Structure 1
């Protein structure tokens, strides 16, 4: 199966990534992607851009990127889940302007709690009508009840991410493979759709899905539940097309 999109990537604006928006789009075009999402870290991540950056995304000419690189461009954010009530670091007036949104737990912005507390943080984020994707829920430092998370994601039509970076040997997240296997088991049981994200912070890793692809093959996960196979399928889930 050829995957045609990657919606979890970062540019220089995130503060710890290394390429421009144009360089990331160029890489996506070279790799044959049809759609690229650029999701800069939201404001509570150390070193990232401020609210004005996200408010000003309206000035980016998406048609130009399509003409130059053959890639449809979505501009959004990777939000930080801040507490056990699922609070995120962007006001609604800005959040609802984002083409695509990912909500993730990151160590600088969240103190890990019990499994119940971590689960509640994810469930509350899932219920936010402007959140489209839950990012790297596989991180064992913040492990939730995966059955409950999958059930909620299915109910609220939120995509769960299979983060390729979580399976990279260089990644600092914990128990990525073990937790992703558990997540996939419940996604298969409840027929909950997933999305693969490269989490690329450099242009070479745009569209890098190989670690997750191997795991999907190993588990015989249904291809029809993988949103990356179709731009039209993705459009059912992201803010820009709702």
Structure 2
């Protein structure tokens, strides 16, 4: 099966990434991707775009280089209550909302506090995908997170960048999460977290870990653009009822 989507990428707008959306889309096209998430950091990240960036998505074409673009955000959890740094009026306009914990944006806490913050953000009706739970910055109960993902039907990411040498050795954390995800059979997304065009679609380490730990193909959304779009459409329909 082919990987056909990368839902976690950044552009120059994030402040510490180095490629444009057009450069990322061209790289995605060369690798045969059909869907590309444009998920720049929320405004509490130093150097991130201001809110007007997220309010101007309507000017973007639906496709670039033959690749469907999903404009969105990687929102930052900012409190133990799982609060996000994007106001509701902007979240309503997003095609894709990723959510995660980041140093600087979140105060840090105990295992219980960090896990609570992550799970409360997961239960936010405007959250589409939770990202990089295996990063070593914050200790969390990864089994509990995998269980909640399966119960709520909210995909959690295996982050390829987290498994790279520049992030330190996070394989043990990610392996523990992936084993629990395989046990509970919740939905999984593989994300490159690319901050430069040549890393778009680079998901080899994440895929290797998923296969090693017994995650089934049907759990991995990256194989089916239609499945991803159907899921996101369902999320938006649920939100319209709020």
TM-score range, shorter chain: over 0.9
Conserved in 1, the CA contact under 8 Å of 2:222 and 2:228? Answer: yes
Aligned partner of residue 75 in structure 1, secondary structure? strand
Paired with 1:218 and 1:156, the residues of 2 have a C-alpha distance of: 25
Aligned partner of residue 137 in structure 2, secondary structure? helix
1:189 aligns with 2:217: no
Q: Report the counterpart of residue 227 of structure 1 in structure 2.
A: 221
Q: Report the counterpart of residue 113 of structure 2 in structure 1.
A: 117
Instruction: Give 1:86-235 correspondences, 5 Å limit.
Output: 86-172=82-168, 175-235=169-229
Stretches of structure 1 lacking an aligned partner (at least 5 in a row): none
Q: Deviations over 1:121-141 (max 9, x none)?
A: 011101100101111010122
Conserved in 2, the CA contact under 8 Å of 1:158 and 1:237? Answer: no
Aligned partner of residue 139 in structure 1, secondary structure? coil
Q: Please give the TM-score of this superposition, normalised by the length of structure 2.
A: 0.93
Q: Report the counterpart of residue 28 of structure 1 in structure 2.
A: 28
Aligned partner of residue 75 in structure 2, secondary structure? strand
Paired with 1:210 and 1:105, the residues of 2 have a C-alpha distance of: 23
Q: Report the counterpart of residue 240 of structure 2 in structure 1.
A: none
| Deviation, structure 1 residue 241 | 6.1
Paired with 1:219 and 1:142, the residues of 2 have a C-alpha distance of: 22
CA RMSD of aligned residues (A): 1.4
Paired with 1:205 and 1:141, the residues of 2 have a C-alpha distance of: 22
Aligned partner of residue 184 in structure 1, secondary structure? helix
Count, aligned residues: 236
Runs of 4+ in 1 over 6 A off after TM superposition: none
Paired with 1:206 and 1:43, the residues of 2 have a C-alpha distance of: 23
Paired with 1:18 and 1:141, the residues of 2 have a C-alpha distance of: 24
Q: Report the counterpart of residue 4 of structure 2 in structure 1.
A: 4
Paired with 2:198 and 2:232, the residues of 1 have a C-alpha distance of: 25
Q: Please give the TM-score of this superposition, normalised by the length of structure 1.
A: 0.93
Stretches of structure 2 lacking an aligned partner (at least 5 in a row): 238-242
Aligned partner of residue 141 in structure 1, secondary structure? coil
Aligned partner of residue 103 in structure 1, secondary structure? strand
Conserved in 1, the CA contact under 8 Å of 2:99 and 2:127? Answer: yes
The alpha-carbon distance between structure 1 residues 58 and 13, as it changes in their structure 2 partners (threshold 3 A), is same
Q: Report the counterpart of residue 51 of structure 1 in structure 2.
A: 51
The alpha-carbon distance between structure 1 residues 216 and 170, as it changes in their structure 2 partners (threshold 3 A), is same
Conserved in 1, the CA contact under 8 Å of 2:178 and 2:209? Answer: no
